[in-house]
Amino acid sequence: MSKRIDVRDLNIYYGDFQAVADVNMVIEPRSITALIGPSGCGKSTFLRTLNRMHEVIPGARVEGEVLIDDHNLYDPKVDPVQVRRLVGMVFQRPNPFPTMSIADNVLAGVKLNNRKMKSSEASDLVESSLRGANLWNEVKDRLDRPGSSLSGGQQQRLCIARAIAVRPEVLLMDEPCSALDPISTLAIEDLMIELKEKYTIVIVTHNMQQAARVSDRTGFFNLKATGEPGRLVEIDTTETMFSTPSQKETEDYISGRFG
């Protein structure tokens, strides 16, 4: 299921503005990679290029390659809708469809992909996705209640269930815990560690402890000055990045001297 991602010479633009320059990065399957760095250095922008969400913004474009198991996502023959099925995304604020039932929220992505299902198949998928997102026991008796009836942490797990229901290979998470309390945050972190047995996970986080707790590898982005593009300064095992990074700017950031 899970896939290796190989980013080669990636440059990312919003119109004339270059937001990110020259990223090269390999992301191993069944691992969690955390992207850290100060505000505005391009972490979220970079993340969105991994499932071609960047280009939905008018004028936004990329140069370079993103290979998933050796297939370039940016090959002109590739359908971006297919890419987004393969590479799912979970956003900062839980965004279930508020009036839609919990069960229909889980199925929303699958239905968008025009898959027709028998009702028994649909209910199996609802259950397995909610189990996969560690939410089943909390909601199994109220699947027809609206998504908005859940707490913030439950809503975020519902969004994770919706993302995994389409059976992606890669999961991108853009600050998935920033709107959550500490207990819900720990639940999502535990879930991420379980999910990496099946998926390749890339997470943007401002929370350094979170990066240290959950990720196998950490990439540090930085920018020299406002208006300059962000760059990947270094990427290594999380242990090395937090103990003996090779760049002084990484050490300064991690030790809280700036950012």
Ligand X SMILES: Nc1ncnc2c1ncn2[C@@H]1O[C@H](COP(=O)(O)OP(=O)(O)OP(=O)(O)O)[C@@H](O)[C@H]1O
Which residues would be at the binding site for ligand X (CB under 6 A)?
Answer: 14, 17, 19, 37, 39-45, 57
C-alpha count within 13 angstroms, C-beta hemisphere, residue 6: 7
Structure token digits, residue 255? 């030790």
Q: Which is nearer to ligand X, 61 or 198 (CB)?
A: 61
φ, ψ (nearest 5 deg) of residue 254: -65, -35
- Please report how close the Cβ of residue 242 comes to ligand X at its closest, in angstroms: 19
Q: Which is nearer to ligand X, 41 or 165 (CB)?
A: 41
Q: Which is nearer to ligand X, 138 or 252 (CB)?
A: 252
Place of tokens 């991994």: 50
174/118 Cα distance (integer angstroms): 33
- Please report how close the Cβ of residue 172 comes to ligand X at its closest, in angstroms: 12
- Please report how close the Cβ of residue 37 comes to ligand X at its closest, in angstroms: 6
Q: Which is nearer to ligand X, 43 or 231 (CB)?
A: 43
Stated as kind and residue range, the H or E segment containing 163 is helix 152-165
CB-based burial label for 93 (10 Å; 0-12, 13-18, 19+): middle
In order of 2, 160, 195, 202, 226, the CA distances from 132 in angstroms are: 15, 9, 8, 18, 41
228/10 Cα distance (integer angstroms): 15
- Please report how close the Cβ of residue 21 comes to ligand X at its closest, in angstroms: 11
Q: Which is nearer to ligand X, 39 or 119 (CB)?
A: 39
- Please report how close the Cβ of residue 207 comes to ligand X at its closest, in angstroms: 11
- Please report how close the Cβ of residue 28 comes to ligand X at its closest, in angstroms: 23
Q: Which is nearer to ligand X, 43 or 157 (CB)?
A: 43
Structure token digits, residue 257? 């001297």
Measured CA angle at 178 (ends 257, 18), to 5 deg? 65
